[in-house]
Structure 1
Amino acid sequence: MTTTADLFPPIGLRVVAGPLELRGLTDELIVELCDLAEAGIHDPGEMPFYFPWTAAPPGQLTRNTAAYHWGKRAAFSPDDFCLDLAVLLEGRVIGCQGVAARHFPVTRTGETGSWLGREFQGRGLGTAMRRAMCALLFDHLGFEEITSAAFLDNPASLGVSRNVGYRPTVVSRIKRREGELALNQGLVLTPETFLRGDVPVEVTGAAAVRSFIGLDAG
């Protein structure tokens, strides 16, 4: 019998690193992520995201979050995809870790992005989940480079990138919220600079995803 993972292989992806697990987004996990986002990701006076998606009114944020993930699932192709995974700690959803790529079979690069529920921040989990994601991308999904970015007033995100081995590139001047200038630090990671840590990473379901993003199935 055909499964949802047969139709959309990222749903069958599973990455385990100690007590942390990254899973492909089923509808049930999307609902849990929506509830977690609604409970709060950052102080209302701050905005850590390039697109201020968390500024939505209560109730609307959950619908927007679900619609975003469903839309990315429907539009997924090797030339333009977002591979987002739910992050679970001992079975509980605590955040989301993803990568976005364009023309991937040629470029072999993509940009990571992530968030954690507020109650799970400041415990080293951001570093652990980024390391697990980068191990998946480099070791199993054919990535040769991974980029990221963070505002200069977001030291926590910059610290995670530094802990994983990203190197700074350029600083861009961008509009963050209406009338607000923000300085955005570009970052890049290669297999040579990747700081893996000492927690082994186990991956299942990667072969089908390789084929789905335009690579061989091996």
Structure 2
Amino acid sequence: MNPLTRHFPLYGLRLTTPRLTLRLPDPAELAALADVAADGVHDAAIMPFNVPWSEAPPAERAFGVVRHHFEMLGRIGAERWAIPFAVFHGDGVVGMQDIGSREFAITRQVGSGSWLGQRFHGKGIGTEMRAAILHLAFDGFGAEVAVSAAHVDNPASLAVSRKLGYRENGTERVTPGGKPNVLQRLLIDREAWAENRAVDVTVEGLDDCRDLLGLPA
């Protein structure tokens, strides 16, 4: 057990699927995650993120991953939180999947974001890691709604959402990197999640995190 778990219980939160483990990384694992980002997370011809962090040079991408990880952890509290899970597959880390909310006790809504090392694309990992955090949201946290979004020219991300049962929830014009694009908003409620769930997920360490995240008992 990570010794920090006694003081920061999110280090004991773990999600397990048939192929993946999602949990907070230790320093060496966070360094490996930064290396994955430095190696590339998508084709250079597209920009899947509203903030084009992935266009930075490799060393800057790696630094940004580490900084963002600690920024997210530093903001966690009962009224606002985002958990930056590292995603482990086989012998190492392959990407990052986050889940977050504001005023969860009132809204019962979560949002999510993710990225996956480019060399791990096309293996169904993106679907499985999103399924894991949807299970955590609905079965673990007691969420009623989960939202996500993807640019309309990002068919892979949109396909993951459709496969898991999300429905379209309006669009928004955005300007990633100063270039026009359209963001497709997506939503899935508890009923749609229950009808479409197809991945077995085990959650460990959640009860110790409830006070920190302001979750119902």
Short-chain TM bin: over 0.9
TM-score when scaled to structure 2?
A: 0.93
Aligned ranges for residues 113-192 of structure 1 at < 5 Å?
A: 113-178=113-178, 180-192=179-191
Letter matched to residue 182 of structure 2: L
Q: How does 1:57-96 map to 2 (within 5 A)?
A: 57-96=57-96
Q: Provide the residue aligned with 2:54 in structure 1.
A: 54
Give, in whole Å, the separation in 2 of the partners of 1:33 and 1:58.
Answer: 12
8 Å CA contact 2:73–2:84 kept in 1: the answer is: no
Letter in 2 for 1:181: P
The whole-number CA distance in structure 2 between the counterparts of 1:182 and 1:46 is 11
Distance of 2:49 and 2:188 partners within structure 1: 20
Unaligned runs of 5+ in 2: none
**Contact 1:10/1:25 (8 A) holds in 2:** no
Distance apart, 1:29 and its partner CA: 2.5
Alignment check: 8 A CA contact 1:105 1:213 kept: no
Supply the RMSD in Å over aligned alpha carbons: 1.6
- Tell me, in whole angstroms, the C-alpha distance in 1 between the residues paired with 2:35 and 2:44: 17
Contact 1:101/1:110 (8 A) holds in 2? yes
Rounded Cα–Cα distance in structure 2 between residues aligned with 1:91 and 1:78: 34
Say which SS state the counterpart of residue 58 (structure 2) adopts. Answer: coil
Partner Cα distance (1:58, 1:18) in 2 = 31
Residues 33-80 of structure 1 show CA distances to partners (whole Å, capped at 9, x for unaligned) of 101000110122321011111122221111111011111111211222
What are the ranges of 5 or more consecutive residues in structure 1 without an aligned counterpart? none
Give 1:99-114 correspondences, 5 Å limit.
99-114=99-114
Of all paired residues, the percent bearing the same amino acid is: 36
Kept in 2, the 8 Å contact 1:33–1:86? The answer is yes
**What SS does the aligned partner of 2:112 have?**
strand
Specify the code of the residue in structure 2 equivalent to 1:122.
Answer: G
Identify the range of structure 1 (24-33 vs 40-49) with the bigger mean alpha-carbon deviation.
Answer: 24-33
Q: Secondary structure at the match of 2:148?
A: strand
The one-letter code of the counterpart of 1:6 is R
- Number of residue pairs matched? 215
How far 1:191 sits from its partner (Å)?
Answer: 1.4
The alignment partner of 1:11 has SS state of: helix
Residue identity opposite 1:196 in structure 2: R
Taking the aligned partners of 1:210 and 1:79, their CA distance within structure 2 comes to 12
* Greater share of helix: 2
**How much has 1:147 moved relative to structure 2?**
0.1
Q: Is the Cα contact below 8 Å between 1:144 and 1:191 reproduced in 2?
A: yes
Q: What residue is the counterpart of 2:6 in the other structure? A: 6
Structure 1 runs (4+) deviating above 3 angstroms are none
Residues 191-202 of structure 1: pairs in structure 2 closer than 5 A: 191-194=190-193, 195-197=196-198, 199-202=199-202
TM-score by length of 1: 0.93
- 3-state SS of 1:83 partner: strand
- Judge conservation of contact 2:109–2:143 (CA < 8 Å) in 1: yes
Secondary structure of 2:86's partner?
A: strand
Query: Which range is displaced more, 64-73 or 3-12?
Result: 3-12
